[in-house]
Each structure stands twice: as structure tokens, then as C-alpha cells.
Amino acid sequence: MNAPIDTTPELDPLRDPALYFNRELSQLDFNFRVLAQAQDASVPLLERLRYLCISCTNLDEFFEIRAATVRHSQDFGVPVAADGLAPATVLKRIHDRAADLVEAQYACWNTMLRPELNAAGVRVLGRNSWNAKQTRWLRAYFRDEIMPVLSPLGLDPAHPFPKILNKSLNIVVVLKGKDAFGRAGHLAIVRAPRSLPRIIQLPEKISGGEHDFVFLSSVLSSFVDELFPGMEVKGAYQFRVTRNSELIVDEEEVENLALALRDELIGRGYLRAMRLEIAADCPKPIVRTLLQNFDLPENAVYRIDGPVNLNRVIQVYDLVQRPDLKFPPFQPRVMRDSDALFQRVAEGDVLMHHPFDSFAPVLELIKQAAEDPNVLAIKQTLYRTGKDSAIVEHLVQAARNGKDVTVVVELRARFDEEANLGLADRLQEAGVQVVYGVVGFKTHAKMLLVVRREGRKLRRYVHLGTGNYHSGTARAYTDISLITADPDIGSDVHQIFTQISGLAPVIKLKRMLQSPFTLHSGVLKRIERETKHAKAGKHARIIAKMNALNEPQVIRALYEASQAGVQIDLIVRGACTLRPGVPGVSDNIRVRSIVGRFLEHSRVYWFGNDGTPDLFCASADWLERNLLRRVETGFPILDPELAARVQKEALEDYLADNLNAWELQPDGSYRKLEPGDSAPFSAQASLLANICG
């Protein structure tokens, strides 16, 4: 019997933890690149405000999910990742790095954006700048609109520290004196209900400005004394706690996933605390009391020089109609002959690059399928759809029109669980067959299948995409869509739907790659093929675009390819645990991140194959979860002209970008690229110019 292979770093140098960055810390650093957009004076002012808010919202979600996952690993002894860092070490570094980010966010707000907005006539007024007229109006507003819905809670033996809802705005009040029952005041908690607007717009006749706003937190802190008549308010300090929001349902132990998720959602807002934000001037004893109640360490507190709910200032972006302070509007390119889509697709594949191409043909395909008497069946996956989705209405109408409609609704789409439960109920009430996916594997694939009778034969029409069936994100995210009647792809999609809904055995696909079965191995096979080409002296090249990269086997395969001489360019928007530029290991690998007007979301894999390239678009990033623990699809672009278009628009243009690109350095930092002597070029701006030309 052969002895087991020793895979220690000494015998397998490509497993050396020094060759891998930490996924969480890499993800956290992405927000510095987002924040850089808020600091960039060449970006329109209100758009800079939007970038600031995005970085704040991202940080919230990071603590709710990524940091919470690290804490879970620490508590339950989960094995360390490829970087070799213990969870306790990662948590400490997270808090240190997040503290730097928070400091930079509030410096951006206080010293850059707020003064510049004020100069542009968009004023967010602090308490110390209210004049007498504004103060009177705000006090009246507090009494009429805010005070009636508040329920202050004094802390004493009969009123222990209350449960604090995740990310809710709260004020801790220090009191002196006695209340009506003779109870001595000490501390009280005032929670702002979520029904209250976090940004209040002052009437122009009161304020004198058309766009004058105040934070709800400022109003609460200013007039909180009215909630405690007869007592003296010695101090009022806003705070907010961020909690773990990752729902954990043992799918194999529950009889009904939907009911189990509904139960979990009830308590989601009160899971374990991960971070405490509090006013910078809050006394240390109160901070210690809060940390003790939330069971948080000292480094989990963030003292805030401004409103703790800074991301809520995004309402100013929505309320202020100032085109001069925003990106110029654009109209996506509209496909010709969309009123006869089946005929159009029968003649050749249709490729769309969103948001530069309109998402309307996808909606139109479902609508025409619902109304066409020759359509027999519609099958679709839904991960995120948005509110009041036209897609859902078309699917409901299709079922009412007698079509056989099957929808795979992924109930576990993070933060959309409640919406998807309601969506599933709506579809089932209309007669749609709803499937909740596969136990243990999120269904993240984006697939639509239409079966249509044409003469004496049945023909399959398919839509595949890298993004969700969500009209809103289709205008804000870059994604690739393909509508095709190719028989092989139609057969593959049919088999995948049958596998998901009917518990079918492993299938052999003709054209597509599928997680958790062939996508991972298919990527590895193609990387290894490039390695063999390079060793044989043939041209070898890999270009891949994705949101994140951390799968160790893929990274080791890329390192081996680099060592063989394969030239590798990776366009990775967020977390990347591969370390580029290491001599003798990854010196042929370059990694860049693009941060621009639109969120980069398309996944495209291109393998040179010695002049006969393979090009796949996919729903999956090169992450462990996507390649091994989800239902994902990778689909080829078979039409040579369309493949060339994707290669240019989604890959080559992004490699030429020298305005929105950041290059990952061997030490883990990112360097913003500059045009230098080259002509300035932005991939997104170029694509926008093409639709306007």
C-alpha cells in the first residue's frame, strides 16, 4: 500500500500560506477603492456622496456576514484557510483595518463632501448651525412627528437592558433627578423606530434653502429632554450595533425549508453582536456598559465623529434633483425586432452587455412566451428579482394561460429571503410549480428555458446570464446575457432543470459547465491545458474576469501555469487571495480591480488554447462556495462574432483601462493606475460612448 502523499508546504511549495492573502481582509480593502471614488474630485459631487454611502453599506454587510463567519470559525474550531491565519488573528486585523476605513469615511464626509455640498447649495445642517427659526420648526417637528412614536426605556431592576435591533438608531441618555414615581434617573435608551425617516428635509420657507436637511439622530439628541420632564439630561449619545445576519438552517434536518426560514427570519435582527458604533464624546463607563451588554471586546467599538448611520445620507442623493451634480443620464441600446423575439433568436444568437444594452428583451422574451399559444412550458431560476417584478407578473400570466411553468426560487438568497418567500407564495397561488432548489446547494445559476412548438417539432429557447433577473441592477451592474436556440445548449439547460427539480442523477452536458459537478474541474482542465501549451513552446494565455477569487486548487493551477510561462490577466473586482508578482511563482500573473460608474459583475473566462480560444460566461466566481457548493452554470459563446465582442468589451477594454483600474501588488496593496504618456481610457466610458454614438 502506498504511503499517503505529504502535502506540507515543504514538499508542496504552492501550498505555502505566504502565497495567499486572507479573503476577508481582501474583501474589506475593496471598500477603500470604493471610498476613493468619493474622494475623487473628477466624479460628480452627488455621485461621490453615493460612493461614500456604498462603502458604508458594504462595511455593514461585511460585519453582518464576513466578520460573523470568522467569529463562527473561531467559536467552533473551523480549519484555517489557505492563508494560514487563525480566526482570532483575522478578527483582530479586521477591527484594525475597519477602524482605518471608518476614520477615512468620516474624514471624507466632514472635510470634503459636506463642505462641498454646502457650497453647491445642498446643506446637511449640524446642530450647532441651526438658527432660531430652524430650531423652532425642528422642535415642533419632533413633538408632532417623532415624539408620539418613541418609547423611552429607563434602565433599572424592573427595566433591564433591552434587546437592540440590528443596525437600529439608538440614543443612550444620562439622566439626573427623579421621575414621577420617585425613581432616581441614571440611564435610559431611546430607540428610533424604523418608520421614522433618517434624513429630514427642511421646508424652503423655513430654512431659506431648497435643499436643506438634518439627520434624525441630530433631532433626537437635541430634543430628547422633552421625553424626560422634570429630569435633567446630562448627556445624549447615539449608538448603533451591527449583528450577525447569516441565517443557519440545517436543511437536512427540517421537513419544510420555507417554514424553517420564516422562523429564522423572526430572530435575525437579534443575533450575536459584531460591532458597536457610538458617538465620539460618549463617556468611557457608558461604552463599557454597552460592550458588556453586547458581549463585545474593546476593539469592536468604533467612536464616530458624526452620525452613526452615515449611509442614510443616501436619501439626499435621491431627494436632490440636480443633474449637474450627477452622472449624465443614458439610454441603453435597444435591440431591433424585439417584437418577434422567437423569430429573431431562431435566426441567430442574441448577446446583450448590460447596462449598455437594455434588459428589456429578457422581459419581452418571458412576456411573449406567456402570451404565445405555441409555447408549452417555461422554466426559470429566480435568485433576486426586486420589488414588483414584471418577470413575476409574466410568469403568473403564463400559468393562467395554461402554460406549464416551473420556477426554481432560491429562498436562501442573502437578505432577500423574506422577499423570496413572498414571491414563492405568489407564484404557487397562480398555479406555478415552485421548487426550492437543492438541499445543501444554493441555486445561483441564471437560466430561462422556453419550450415552443414549431410545426411538428419542439424547439427550446434559452436565456443565460451572469447577473440576476432584476431590472434595477441591470441598469447599475455590468453583466452578460445570451439568448439562444442552440439545440445543445437547450438540451443542457433542460437537463439541469430536470436535475434540480426531479432529483435526477449526475448528467453529462454537451456544451455547458455546471457546479458542483463540472465547472470546477472544467476550469482546472483548461488552466492545465494552457500550462501544457506553454511547456510545449506554444502560445498560452488566460484572461478571466470575476467578482472574487479564493479557491485554492484554482490558484495553485494558476501558479503552475505562471511558472510554465502562461501570461495571465485577472480582472477581480473584490476579494482576491492570489498573490501576484512573486518571483518564480506568479510573476506572469497580473491582477486588477475596476471601480467605476457601474458595479462590475460579469464573469468571463477566456483561455487562448493556442489560437482556438475557449470563452465562457458564468454565474460563478472562482470561489470555493461557487465552484463546489452551489448550482452554477458556465456557458460558451459559440458565435465567433459574439465571442469576439465579449472578448473585446468585457476583457480587452478592461485591461486597457487606465482611469478606473487598480493593480494588486505583491504585498497586498492596490495601486491606482494612471494614464501617464498613454491616452486616458475608461472601459465603461467607452462602452457608454458606443451606445450614444
Cα distance between residue 426 and residue 418, in whole Å: 13
In contact, 482 and 365? CB cutoff 8 Å: no
Place of cell 451572469: 466
Query: Residue 498, CB half-sphere, CA atoms under 13 Å: how many?
Result: 12
**Choosing from 95, 211, 394, 444, which is the catalytic residue?**
444
Residue 162: CB atoms within 10 A of its CB come to 13
Closest by Cα among 357, 430, 419 to 386: 419
In contact, 222 and 134? CB cutoff 8 Å: no
Residues 6+ positions from 221 with CB-CB distance below 8 Å = 127, 171, 236, 237, 238
Cis before 355 (ω within 30): yes
Which amino acid is present at 49?
A: L
Closest by Cα among 79, 85, 75 to 24: 85
Query: Residue 71, CB half-sphere, CA atoms under 13 Å: how many?
Result: 22
Which amino acid is present at 405?
A: V
Which amino acid is present at 107?
A: A
Cell numbers linked to 199: 434624513
Residue 347, judged by CB atoms within 10 A of its CB (0-12, 13-18, 19+), counts as exposed
Residues 6+ positions from 693 with CB-CB distance below 8 Å = none
Cell numbers linked to 335: 435591440
Closest by Cα among 542, 610, 539 to 580: 542
Run of H or E including 23:
helix 23-39
User: Residue 681 — left, alpha, or beta (φ > 0 → left; ψ -120 to 50 → alpha)?
Assistant: beta
Cα distance between residue 371 and residue 89, in whole Å: 58
DSSP class of 13: G
Cα distance between residue 181 and residue 179, in whole Å: 5
Closest by Cα among 461, 443, 293 to 362: 461
Run of H or E including 605:
strand 603-607
Q: Phi and psi for 115 in degrees, rounded to 5? A: -65, -40
Cα distance between residue 177 and residue 283, in whole Å: 19
Closest by Cα among 335, 129, 119 to 222: 129
DSSP class of 473: G
444 noted as active-site residue: yes
How many residues would you count in the chain?
693
DSSP string, 374-407: TEEEEEEEES---TT-HHHHHHHHHHHTT-EEEE
By annotation, the residues acting in catalysis are 444
